[in-house]
Structure 1
Amino acid sequence: MNKLSLSCITILLTFNLLCGQEYYFPERNEIWKGQSAQTLNINNEKLSEAIEFAKNNEYSGSRDLRIAILKGFEREPFHEILGPTKKRGGPAGMILKNGYLVGSWGDTKRVDMTFSVTKSFLSTVAGLAVDKKLIANTNDKVENYIWDGTFNGEHNSKITWEHLLQQNSAWSGELWGGKDWGDRPPREGDVDDWKFERPKEPGTVMEYNDVRVNVLAYSLTHVWRKPLPMVLKENLMDQIDASTTWRWHGYDHAWTEIDGVQMKSVTGGGHSGAGLFISTEDMARFGLLFLNEGHWKNERLLSKEWISKAITPSKPNVNYGYMWWLNKKGSRHWKGLSENIYYAAGFGGNFIVIDKENDLVVVTRWLEPNKIGEFMTKVNASLK
């Protein structure tokens, strides 16, 4: 072999390494390729133990998710189902190493509700808007983009895109019939206490609140001037060869008019119904894109700068970035596991876990939520 050929091979290998070609990316509707645990230096017995653990620790709520939702949020005043729901399947999941399937369980093609995992997809739509300069900077005030009164007033006018993305905006108001103070209220006090409490200063306190997340979705719809499911499909899901089965719903009455066209404003979760309905395999594709830092094969779909911002801890909560949970040392730390792990999490035990240090993507459906740390510890123990 001559020196020119060797140089070409060296360049190709370097290019492939930089572009993430050490990973496998499945084509649309392709049976996901696997590799043996031995090839990827994984202890098959311990991996099987982790999978059995997931199968044996199913989320304890009803498989009729309408019942599970109403039970799970019964303490919220005025809570009701406002959008589509779907009865769920049993436990399911996938474990990818370098993009290859090393373990799976349940029906990975079944489309189910995914609840607040939707938030990480919503955050990504914001990232696409930043990458395309539709939003100049996440520190910009949202009122400079949305002038219809949603961000009027002394308090709401202070809110930035970053505040919305980190769930520390303390946006005050009502959207689609949902009142900000009625969503996940404090354990103590009564309705009047919650209703008349003075809003926190934006950027100071994280409050998990779907009304405010839906304000972000509404605002992004107006920035993009088209429904967010179309944005996600055209700019990302089609590019990662996702199936045609996923759907992103809004509340039944959540319509807005843009450029003379009525369009649905979707939700960032499912605790009143709606949100993202998606298969385990499509969730895994989304996770693989993030594992590869925004590249799918040789194409960059999401900037590395955005991903870095999305997984930077917020000041009010070290375990939360731009709608991604972070495994930093805080109240949600999984002890003994890398602090660089980050993940999307949803009601009922829906998770997409990204472990860059070990080249892992782990997806779980309907795992008892308080078992995720133990499950990931078992997965980690299988790595030689």
Structure 2
Amino acid sequence: MQFTQDVYYPEQGEEWERRKPVDVGMDADSLNEAVHYAQTIETAWPRKLRLHYTENERGESHPEVIGPIKDRGATNGLILRHGYIVAEWGETQRVDMTFSISKSYLSTMAGLALDRELIRDVHHPVRDYVNDGGFDSPHNAQITWHHLLQQTSEWEGTLWDKPHYADGQGEQGPDSPLQAPGSVFAYNDVRVNRLALSLLRIWRKPLPQLLKDNVMDPIGASNSWRWHGYRNSWLTIDGLKMQSVSGGGHWGGGVWISTRDHARFGYLFLRRGRWGERQILSERWIDLATTPCPVEPDYGYMWWLNTDRQLFPNAPETSFYALGAGRNVIWIEPENDLVVVVRWIDTDRADKLMKRVLAAVR
């Protein structure tokens, strides 16, 4: 996509320009139908999120919540076309937990590190950069940044009192044999948190402050978002106490943020890392982040992809997503220049919502 002076970028704050659907090539009636549908497909998750942890995750080997939890709001959302707001519903300024969308923010910190040559090559072993014992074993010594970002690392160990098999999403137990790094995909928050700690080691500054200074402030986000770790994820670097943040809300914590700030973040990626006159993230990183993993083609560097339209059949193959449990979605749709953020919808109906949004494009 060619960038011109005509590309719109919202100013800092809440003064975000709106356009009527017809003015950006969308049908108002079809768009209203999509919004109405979104409002009727709220997740069955309880508003009191502690109940979710109590009821759904008690069967895990290490279910103890070690990070903060916040009760959720109602379903809400926002649709951008060409950067302008064409639809908005619910409390889009409310700060909520966002679960695994946190991973896409974490991935972005790796992108910044690569752009600044703190990481020279994503295929370098992490042990070449991080010397804290986490990559000393013969197995872990093979792990690269690429493996951690694609969730194919098979990292073995315990972090913040959670062993690598503690996350039931990865479908591994204490006796499950480890595979060679890069050979299998396992969605695993312990290993994601190992990436977060490794990035903290090389940056030597808290990741939330780096995200604020280098991404969120430049794109005009609010100051209401927070990025939490765990009560036991504190360490001292260069004499300063810092918290290693979590890449999800599996045991609490993660990024807590509003729909509007999510939309800015998604729009940055729609614009291939550019915001106005500033290239915040390199286009090289956007390409790397959205390259399919060989053993899980629907996944990139902590962004979900729509390779062969397997993830969401009604969306274009070029779509990519930050997805969090609940369900929370940042949908980036380059073919039609759309960003759609929806919070707390039924997971099984997300594809039908996408179909309705695309039906409004003329």
Q: For the structure 1 residues 127 and 186, does the alpha-carbon distance in structure 2 shift closer, same or farther, using more than 3 Å as the test?
A: closer
Q: For the structure 1 residues 375 and 20, does the alpha-carbon distance in structure 2 shift closer, same or farther, using more than 3 Å as the test?
A: farther
Check whether the contact 1:159–1:169 (CA below 8 A) recurs between aligned residues: yes
Other-structure match for 1:135: 119
1:173 aligns with 2:157: yes
Other-structure match for 1:214: 193
Other-structure match for 1:154: 138
1:34-45 superposed matches below 5 A: 34-45=18-29
Other-structure match for 1:203: 182
Q: Look up the equivalent residue of 2:291 and give its one-letter code.
A: T
Structure 1 position 33, deviation (Å): 1.1
Q: For the structure 1 residues 298 and 173, does the alpha-carbon distance in structure 2 shift closer, same or farther, using more than 3 Å as the test?
A: same
1:120 aligns with 2:104: yes
Structure 1 position 185, deviation (Å): 5.8
Structure 1 position 146, deviation (Å): 0.8
Q: Give the whole-Å Cα distance in 2 for the aligned partners of 1:211 and 1:132.
A: 26
What is the CA deviation profile of residues 264-295 of structure 1, one whole-angstrom value per residue up to 9, with x for unaligned ones?
Answer: 00000001000000000000000010010111
Q: For the structure 1 residues 89 and 182, does the alpha-carbon distance in structure 2 shift closer, same or farther, using more than 3 Å as the test?
A: same
Structure 1 position 381, deviation (Å): 0.8
Q: Give the whole-Å Cα distance in 2 for the aligned partners of 1:289 and 1:226.
A: 23
Deviating more after overlay: 63-72 vs 238-247: 63-72
Q: For the structure 1 residues 227 and 186, does the alpha-carbon distance in structure 2 shift closer, same or farther, using more than 3 Å as the test?
A: closer
Other-structure match for 1:360: 338
1:67 aligns with 2:51: yes
Other-structure match for 1:304: 283
Structure 1 position 337, deviation (Å): 2.2
Q: Does the residue aligned with 2:301 lie in a helix, a strand or coil?
A: coil
Q: Look up the equivalent residue of 1:123 and give its one-letter code.
A: S
Q: Look up the equivalent residue of 2:49 and give its one-letter code.
A: L
Other-structure match for 2:320: 342
Q: Does the residue aligned with 2:165 lie in a helix, a strand or coil?
A: helix
1:271 aligns with 2:255: no
* Counterpart pick for 1:48 among 9, 16, 32: 32
Q: For the structure 1 residues 85 and 185, does the alpha-carbon distance in structure 2 shift closer, same or farther, using more than 3 Å as the test?
A: closer
Q: Give the whole-Å Cα distance in 1 for the aligned partners of 2:56 and 2:79.
A: 28
Q: Does the residue aligned with 1:222 lie in a helix, a strand or coil?
A: helix
Q: Give the whole-Å Cα distance in 2 for the aligned partners of 1:225 and 1:145.
A: 12
What is the CA deviation profile of residues 163-206 of structure 1, one whole-angstrom value per residue up to 9, with x for unaligned ones?
Answer: 0000010101100011111211676xxxxx82122211110111
Check whether the contact 1:343–1:354 (CA below 8 A) recurs between aligned residues: yes
Other-structure match for 1:286: 265
* Counterpart pick for 1:378 among 339, 356, 359: 356
Q: Does the residue aligned with 1:252 lie in a helix, a strand or coil?
A: strand
Q: For the structure 1 residues 186 and 282, does the alpha-carbon distance in structure 2 shift closer, same or farther, using more than 3 Å as the test?
A: closer
Q: Look up the equivalent residue of 2:353 and give its one-letter code.
A: F
Deviating more after overlay: 113-122 vs 363-372: 363-372
Structure 1 position 73, deviation (Å): 2.2
Q: Give the whole-Å Cα distance in 1 for the aligned partners of 2:53 and 2:33.
A: 31
Q: Give the whole-Å Cα distance in 2 for the aligned partners of 1:159 and 1:182.
A: 20
Check whether the contact 1:225–1:258 (CA below 8 A) recurs between aligned residues: yes
Structure 2-normalised TM-score? 0.97
Check whether the contact 1:54–1:375 (CA below 8 A) recurs between aligned residues: yes
Q: Give the whole-Å Cα distance in 1 for the aligned partners of 2:349 and 2:185.
A: 24
Structure 1 position 20, deviation (Å): 4.9
* Counterpart pick for 1:228 among 207, 221, 228: 207
Percent pairwise identity = 46
Q: Give the whole-Å Cα distance in 2 for the aligned partners of 1:21 and 1:353.
A: 25
Structure 1 position 359, deviation (Å): 0.4
Check whether the contact 1:20–1:297 (CA below 8 A) recurs between aligned residues: no
1:314 aligns with 2:293: yes
Q: For the structure 1 residues 182 and 317, does the alpha-carbon distance in structure 2 shift closer, same or farther, using more than 3 Å as the test?
A: same
Q: Look up the equivalent residue of 1:88 and give its one-letter code.
A: R
1:179-194 superposed matches below 5 A: 179-184=163-168, 194=173
Check whether the contact 2:185–2:295 (CA below 8 A) recurs between aligned residues: yes
Q: Give the whole-Å Cα distance in 1 for the aligned partners of 2:326 and 2:162.
A: 22
Check whether the contact 2:170–2:188 (CA below 8 A) recurs between aligned residues: no
Deviating more after overlay: 309-318 vs 62-71: 62-71
Q: Give the whole-Å Cα distance in 1 for the aligned partners of 2:12 and 2:28.
A: 28
Q: For the structure 1 residues 374 and 220, does the alpha-carbon distance in structure 2 shift closer, same or farther, using more than 3 Å as the test?
A: same
1:326 aligns with 2:297: no
Check whether the contact 1:20–1:292 (CA below 8 A) recurs between aligned residues: no
- Structure 2's unaligned 5+ residue stretches are none
Q: Look up the equivalent residue of 2:219 and give its one-letter code.
A: I
What is the CA deviation profile of residues 102-140 of structure 1, one whole-angstrom value per residue up to 9, with x for unaligned ones?
Answer: 001101100000000000000000000000000001000
- Structure 1's unaligned 5+ residue stretches are 1-16, 188-192
